[in-house]
């Protein structure tokens, strides 16, 4: 199940939406980023790590969406981190007692809902704003915080391994999904995020998106360009030539999400009286 993608960096890909859980080997155990989605997959990951003699010593959620906030009891009780904004957004979503049931009903596809353990959903500790690195005993993991897709979204750069963990950006199967909730300028937020990731991309040889396939050095630039072109097309209300949202899309629900983004951005610009 676990596959090495760089020295000391392994991934496990979920059956759900090609979600990538990332394992980084450190001095006394591993850092686990976005642990996975289905209960049996996370349990299998816990088994594999136990066999390798590598306990989980820290967890990290790249952003406050349910598929990145899960945990399994067998993974243990290591501290689980996120950015301060990510943790605050997770807390906010889970504030009332009916929250988990609501998330299960509204967000999780019915065919897998019974296999997604929600008991430990979102129990993350926010790192103080401007924290530069994940606090743990292992290779330095730089936090590149931005506001694209979700509040307090973190790209993670493991410089000495040449690895960029991209969260829900730079995917080959999902186009940029903008945070259209309470944000003032979701298009700008996305373009700013891409500039930050671009600034960190020098020397990256392995790109790990939250969903989709692992990219090599040549893919880093290509995927940044592809995401930027998509966001520009969305901003300008043009038809993007993007295979991720066209007839050959990997997931048949993705073109529908694209159409809704287009529509909601049009409504926003009408409401705000701004052109395009
Ligand atoms: Zn996701």
Which residues have C-beta under 5 Å from ligand 1, the single-atom ion? 67, 168, 210
What is the CA(63)–ligand 1 centre distance, in A? 8
Q: Rounded distance, CA 137 to CA 132, Å? A: 15
Q: Which residues of 53-70 are buried (b: 16+ CB within 10 A; e: fewer)?
A: ebebbbbbbbbbbbbbbb
What is the CA(101)–ligand 1 centre distance, in A? 19
Given a cut of 80, whether residue 44 has pLDDT beyond it is yes
pLDDT band at 275 (very low <50, low <70, confident <90, very high): low
Q: Which two tokens stand for residue 205?
A: 């040889």
Q: Rounded distance, CA 12 to CA 34, Å? A: 10
Q: How much is the average pLDDT of 51-69?
A: 97
Q: Rounded distance, CA 270 to CA 232, Å? A: 18
- Our CA angle for 50, 124, 111, nearest 5°, is 75
What is the CA(50)–ligand 1 centre distance, in A? 26
Q: How much is the average pLDDT of 99-126?
A: 95
Phi-psi region of 78 (alpha: psi -120 to 50; beta: other; left: phi over 0): beta
What is the CA(109)–ligand 1 centre distance, in A? 13
Given a cut of 60, whether residue 276 has pLDDT beyond it is no
pTM score of the predicted model: 0.96
- Our CA angle for 246, 191, 205, nearest 5°, is 80
What is the CA(168)–ligand 1 centre distance, in A? 6
What is the CA(129)–ligand 1 centre distance, in A? 22
Q: Rounded distance, CA 48 to CA 46, Å? A: 6
Exposed, middle or buried: residue 96 (CB in 10 Å: 0-12, 13-18, 19+)? exposed
Q: pLDDT, tens digit, for every residue of 211-225?
A: 999 999 999 999 999
What is the CA(112)–ligand 1 centre distance, in A? 15
């Amino acid at each position: 199940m676990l596959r090495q993608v760089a020295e000391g960096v392994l991934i496990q890909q979920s059956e759900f939406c090609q979600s990538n859980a990332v394992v980084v080997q450190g001095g006394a155990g591993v850092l686990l980023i976005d642990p996975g989605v289905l209960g049996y997959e996370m349990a299998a990951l816990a088994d594999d790590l136990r066999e390798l003699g590598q306990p989980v010593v820290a967890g990290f959620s790249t952003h406050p969406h349910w598929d990145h906030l899960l945990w399994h009891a067998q993974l243990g009780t290591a501290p689980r981190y996120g950015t301060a904004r990510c943790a605050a957004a997770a807390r906010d979503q889970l504030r009332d007692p009916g929250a988990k049931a609501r998330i299960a009903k509204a967000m999780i596809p019915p065919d897998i809902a019974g296999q997604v353990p929600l008991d430990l959903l979102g129990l993350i500790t926010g790192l103080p704003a401007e924290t530069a690195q994940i606090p743990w005993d292992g290779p330095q993991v730089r936090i590149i915080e931005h506001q694209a897709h979700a509040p307090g979204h973190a790209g993670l750069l493991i410089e000495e391994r040449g690895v960029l963990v991209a969260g829900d950006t730079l995917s080959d199967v999902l186009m940029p999904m903008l945070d259209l909730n309470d944000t003032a300028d979701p298009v700008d937020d996305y373009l700013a995020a891409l500039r930050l990731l671009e600034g960190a991309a020098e020397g990256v040889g392995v790109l790990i998106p939250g969903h989709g396939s692992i990219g090599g050095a040549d893919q880093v630039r290509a995927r940044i360009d592809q995401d930027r072109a998509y966001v520009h097309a969305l901003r300008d209300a043009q038809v993007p030539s993007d295979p991720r949202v066209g007839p050959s899309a990997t997931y048949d629900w993705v073109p529908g999400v694209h159409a809704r983004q287009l529509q909601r951005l049009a409504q926003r610009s009408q409401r705000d009286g701004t052109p395009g």
